[in-house]
Structure formats: C-alpha cells, structure tokens
Structure 1
Amino acid sequence: MKNFRFIWHGLWVAPYTLFRLIPQANRIIRNEQSTVEERFQMAWKIVNFMRRHFKTKTYVYGLENIPKEDGFVTYSNHQGKYDALCIFEAMDRHTSVLWERKQASRILSRQICSLIDAVKIDLQDPRDIVNAISKCTDIVNSGRNIIIFPEGGYTDNHNEMQDFNTGCFTVNLRTKCTIVPVVLYDAYKAMNTNHLGRVETQVHILPSIPYSEYEGLKKAEIAELVKARIEKKLQELRAQSPDQIGIGADKILEYKK
C-alpha cells in the first residue's frame, strides 16, 4: 500500500472535514451570488487545512517569476495527490486546474474543483480530451490561469519525469499565452507514501516563457522546451545536500504547530 499516509491522516481529519469544511464549501458552491474571491478563499482554506494536518512543510521559490498579468498556463511535473494543491497554495493566485475526472470526483476534491472551476478530463476518452482542452483554452482566453500536468498521471516516478503528452500544449498555441514552468520536488511524500511523520517538499517557479520565445514551434517542440527546463532544475535539486533545503525560499508553507 503506497497511500497509507493519506488514509491515516485522512481519518484523523475526517470529522472536521465532513461536518465543517464540506458543508461550508457546499453552501458557497450552491450560492449563485458567491463571488470568485469567496470561492477562491474557501478553496485556499481547504488546501491549507489539508497540508497542515498532513504535516507537510513546503518551501516555495521563484515567486518573482509569476507573471503580473493573469491569463497564463502553468505546466508542472506530476508526483501525486498533493501536486495541484501545493501549486495552488504556493502561487496564491486565482487559478484553475486540469484535473483527471476520477480523482476530481472524490470527496473534498469535488468541492475544490467546483470552487476553482476546474476542468475535468477522462484520459481514456479522446472526445473528452478534446472538450477539456477546449475548456482550458476558454479559461485562458477569459484572462484566468490554469495548471496542467503534461505527464497526465503519476505512478511511482517520485522525482523522475515521465513522458509529456503534447496535446495539452494546444492551449498555449491557441491562446499565445505565457507559459510558467513549475518544478515539484519531493511532493509525492505529502500524500503518496507510507511515512507518517513530518515531510518537506519544494515548489520552484521557473522563469516564464513568453509567446515570442515559442512562436513558430510545434506542440512537440514546445513540450520538449518546457520538459528540458523542468528536468534541468530537477537534476540540480537531486544533487543538493540536505542542509541546502529551505535556503533562499520566498515563502514557507508550514505544517501544523
């Protein structure tokens, strides 16, 4: 079993989750007059609660690389259940997520998806993939941001990368938007291991890639460009010594005191 940590900590927070967080979220979701800000703050509250009670500290680097103008796509490597949550919390920006449909249907994930207007995708259904990419395009064209994991899913890859699905780069070709590469390191430790103690993870926001830099490239070439930058950073992080972790972090998302 590779998710004992998720099950164990999930049971500890179940009462508060079931009787406080979910009812609060559902009230905001049902309320047609709730604002985007109210929905975002509720989603942030859920994510922050889960991270702290899962004893996960996250070091965030590169906040200066987040574009000042919204309407960008974040592409990141994929390691586990914590990935979208930690990027969402690290950036602290209104952003949606391209979320695998089965994962998005689970408790709490379902609420977060509704609050941030996430796009659900069935990776086994070609028609659903086309529709999901079209929705992601609409989100970016409307001036909002979205997080996409080009690897599609995750297994036991940990800090190693998998192949990129080039189809998701259709979004930036259609919108000519800025690309923000993000590197996750040790993110799998938060919810996809059997270790029950405190863990530390890292989020590295890399320099953005404007349209002028990838103009004229094909989807596969853009995918290789983004993947190469993420892989280069991963190699640097794999070579770091433990005493370097946390040095120079722009933000530290603490675990529960």
Structure 2
Amino acid sequence: MVLHAVPKANKMIANKNRYSEKERFVYAKWIIDYMRRHARTRTRVYGRENIPTDSNYIMYPNHQGKYDALGIILAQDKPCGVLWGKKQAERLMSRQVCGLIDAVVIDLDNNRDKVRAIMDVTRQVRSGRNFLIFPEGGYTDNKNELQEFQAGCFSCSLQSKTPIVPVALFDSYKSMNSNTFERVDTQVHFLKPILYSEYGELKKKEVAELVKSRIAERLAQIKAGEINESYELIG
C-alpha cells in the first residue's frame, strides 16, 4: 500500500493545479481509511447534523493519541485542514496526508512558530476553509481525561468570526496503540456549534473554557452511559 500510495500522493501534492482540493481530500481519506482498517478500528460518529452546512467552521476536539485527527477527518464530507504538530507530521504517510489536505504544521516547542501557524490558519479560515485545531496541543497518557486548553488558538475563531464546533473524542487513544492488537471501538461526538454571536464578546481564555466545558459535559455523559443518540458507524 505504501509503495502505491506515497508516490501517488506526492504526485498530487506536487501538481495541485491538476488536482482539486476535493480530489486530494478524497485520496487522503482513502489513505486514512486504510490506516484505520489496518489498526482494526471502528468509529461511532455522533452529531454529524451539528456540522454547519451554510458556513465554514473550526473544530476543536480533545486530544488523546495518533488516531484523533484521522477519525474526525473520516467523518467530514467537505475538505478540512488540520493544525498538525511537527513531530507527528514528519512521520511516513502522515506527511503525505498533511500535504494532501493542506495542513498547517506547527512546532509546539517554538513560540514564534506558534504565532506564525495561528496566523496562517486564520488566513485560510477567512478565505473559506474548514479547519481542525487541538487546543490541548499535544497528548500524553491522559486517555479520556481533559488537559489544559491553550487559549491562543481560539484567536482563529475570534478573528474569522466563524462557528466553533466542539468535538468530544472517547477511547480514541486505544487506536494505533502498539500495546494491543485487538479490535478497537472509538467515538467522535460533534457537539452543537457555538456561533460568533455567543462567543464574540468573550476573551480567548473565556472561549477556551466555554469549549472545554462543552466537551467535558459530553465526556461525563458518555462515562455515565447517558448517550442514547443514533450514530453512524465507520468500519
């Protein structure tokens, strides 16, 4: 698969004038789905009706592991970019996916690069693109527990005035984990969008706390077994 996909992806990346954003995104999803199947992962997708159809948007999920962005991208019909950590983006296949979806790569250890990346994402969102940003930055062994949300990334929403879509990930850390070869079931929950009219007067830190509280509420409901909504199954 790698011998086939890497050259084709590289060709599409090098000739973006010949391949539309949609075509490149579809091929990126094909690669991601192969990785999902190879990782023996199934994903339950909740709340797709909450994804805006009349506006571009920024998604802010919690962060657990390698599969997080992949599970969210697979649930997208329209192309979206990702603010992707440099260390993860340099891996084989991740590098190709990043290029195909025009991801913005960020060095989380370099404050100047953080500013550059946030400005780049803001510019792209203003131009009409959808984006995925992990406000926790990286991940450790936090599993289904939330980490601190970094307020700086929410300037992308405050400046672009686009809807915020909180996304709750559950058990995503179990996928692509070398400690298990068993089948893994993960969950992606797209929560009700937060419109600019609701968050526009808030400061970045207050927006971060608002989004975090929405995700925390959904995680608590999942853990308590209170989710009875229908879902779509990927896998």
Range of TM-score over shorter length: over 0.9
2:39 counterpart of 1:54: yes
The amino acid that maps onto 2:234 is L
Percent identity, aligned pairs only, is 52
**C-alpha distance in structure 1 between counterparts of 2:125 and 2:234, whole Å:** 27
Give runs of aligned pairs for residues 170-181 of structure 1, distance below 5 A. Answer: 170-181=155-166
Q: Which residue of 2 aligns with 1:21?
A: 5
Unaligned runs of 5+ in 1: 1-15
What's the offset of the Cα at 1:23? 1.5
What's the offset of the Cα at 1:249? 3.5
What's the offset of the Cα at 1:20? 1.1
2:69 counterpart of 1:84: yes
Give runs of aligned pairs for residues 76-115 of structure 1, distance below 5 A. Answer: 76-115=61-100
**C-alpha distance in structure 1 between counterparts of 2:177 and 2:60, whole Å:** 21
The amino acid that maps onto 2:198 is E
2:22 counterpart of 1:41: no
Between Structure 1 and Structure 2, the one with more helix by share is 1
1:217 aligned residue (198, 202, 207): 202
The amino acid that maps onto 2:6 is I
Give runs of aligned pairs for residues 182-221 of structure 1, distance below 5 A. Answer: 182-221=167-206
2:234 counterpart of 1:250: no
**C-alpha distance in structure 1 between counterparts of 2:4 and 2:230, whole Å:** 33
- On the 8 A contact 1:70/1:144 being kept in 2, the answer is no
**C-alpha distance in structure 2 between counterparts of 1:95 and 1:166, whole Å:** 21
- On the 8 A contact 1:78/1:154 being kept in 2, the answer is yes
List 4+ stretches of structure 1 deviating above 4 A. none
**C-alpha distance in structure 1 between counterparts of 2:230 and 2:84, whole Å:** 28
- On the 8 A contact 1:76/1:150 being kept in 2, the answer is yes
Deviations 1:172-210 (A, max 9, x none): 111111000000000001113511110100000000000
In the alignment of these two chains, the number of paired residues is: 234
What's the offset of the Cα at 1:69? 2.5
What's the offset of the Cα at 1:248? 3.9
**C-alpha distance in structure 2 between counterparts of 1:72 and 1:193, whole Å:** 34
Q: Which residue of 2 aligns with 1:125?
A: 110
CA RMSD of aligned residues (A): 1.3
Q: Which residue of 2 aligns with 1:67?
A: 52
